[in-house]
């Protein structure tokens, strides 16, 4: 028969205490009295063979405490993970917004630049009548006209197209198709929208060519990109 020593334990069942005392008294005689005295002196109550039901309650309480502790730890871990995920999501959102803002700013800057260039080109196109009319023009003279009419940032692309189409010959004629002028307009009469003197005035052809590139492709450089990919524009 095993015994359990419990300090300061208040036994809830008086019947259980009486039963334990009786068994101990019968089995031990005077020894039980000595044990009682020892228990009283040391503050320890000796209980033998706690009923199985009470042992189960103790075990259940212990398991419940362990489960509660595990649940608290799990909640703390889940909260930490959630906070970390929230911080990561916030950081990613901030980066995405920053990138979007930068892209919008770049697009706005590009649009503003294009509007300024278009405005500059439009103002220059109004000055065609200021160019002196001659019976013939050199390539240098024609290029000088173009530099005054085409935005500086677009001139090289504009020049590349003219180089490939006509070598700056404003009277160039394609023998097969009949395309005419520096830009090989087909038919050449298209250029009459820029001026009645389209056959003989390079400035009129430049005005038409610049308007064509802007209207059809957005800019001379966009037109040049298309030309490079297709060998025509």
Contact 96, 90 (CB under 8 A): no
Mean pLDDT of 148-152: 94
Local structure of 171: helix, strand or coil? coil
Asked whether residue 211 carries a pLDDT value surpassing 60, the answer given is: yes
Cα-based angle 200, 201, 204 (whole degrees, multiple of 5): 130
Asked whether residue 126 carries a pLDDT value surpassing 80, the answer given is: no
Q: Which residue has the higher pLDDT, 7 or 151?
A: 151
Phi (first) and psi of residue 82, to 5 degrees: -65, -40
Q: Which residue has the higher pLDDT, 181 or 34?
A: 181
Q: What is the pLDDT of residue 37?
A: 46
Cα 18 to Cα 12, 23, 94, 143: the distances in Å are: 12, 9, 74, 124
Give the best-scoring range by mean pLDDT among 33-37, 75-79, 203-207. 203-207
Q: What is the pLDDT of residue 28?
A: 45
Q: What is the pLDDT of residue 113?
A: 78
Contact 45, 11 (CB under 8 A): yes
Confidence of residue 216 (pLDDT cuts 50, 70, 90): very high
Residue 102 CA to residue 1 CA, distance in Å, equals: 84
Q: Which residue has the higher pLDDT, 181 or 119?
A: 181
Asked whether residue 79 carries a pLDDT value surpassing 60, the answer given is: yes
């Amino acid at each position: 028969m095993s015994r359990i020593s419990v300090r300061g334990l208040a036994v809830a069942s008086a019947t259980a205490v009486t039963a334990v005392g009786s068994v101990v008294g019968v089995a031990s005689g005077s020894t039980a009295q000595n044990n009682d005295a020892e228990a009283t002196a040391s503050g320890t109550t000796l209980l033998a063979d706690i009923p199985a039901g009470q042992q189960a309650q103790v075990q259940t309480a212990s398991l419940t405490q362990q489960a509660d502790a595990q649940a608290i730890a799990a909640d703390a871990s889940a909260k930490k993970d959630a906070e970390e995920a929230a911080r990561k999501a916030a950081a990613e959102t901030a980066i995405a917004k920053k990138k979007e803002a930068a892209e919008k700013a770049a697009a706005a800057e590009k649009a503003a630049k294009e509007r300024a260039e278009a405005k500059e080109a439009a103002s220059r196109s109004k000055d065609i009548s200021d160019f002196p009319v001659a019976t013939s023009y050199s390539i240098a003279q024609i290029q000088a006209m173009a530099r005054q009419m085409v935005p500086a940032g677009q001139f090289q692309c504009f020049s590349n197209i003219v180089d490939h189409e006509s070598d700056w010959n404003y009277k160039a004629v394609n023998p097969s198709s009949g395309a005419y002028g520096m830009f090989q307009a087909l038919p050449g009469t298209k250029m009459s929208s820029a001026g009645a003197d389209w056959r003989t005035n390079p400035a009129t052809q430049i005005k038409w060519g610049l308007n064509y590139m802007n209207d059809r492709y957005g800019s001379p450089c966009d037109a040049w990109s298309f030309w490079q990919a297709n060998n025509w524009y």
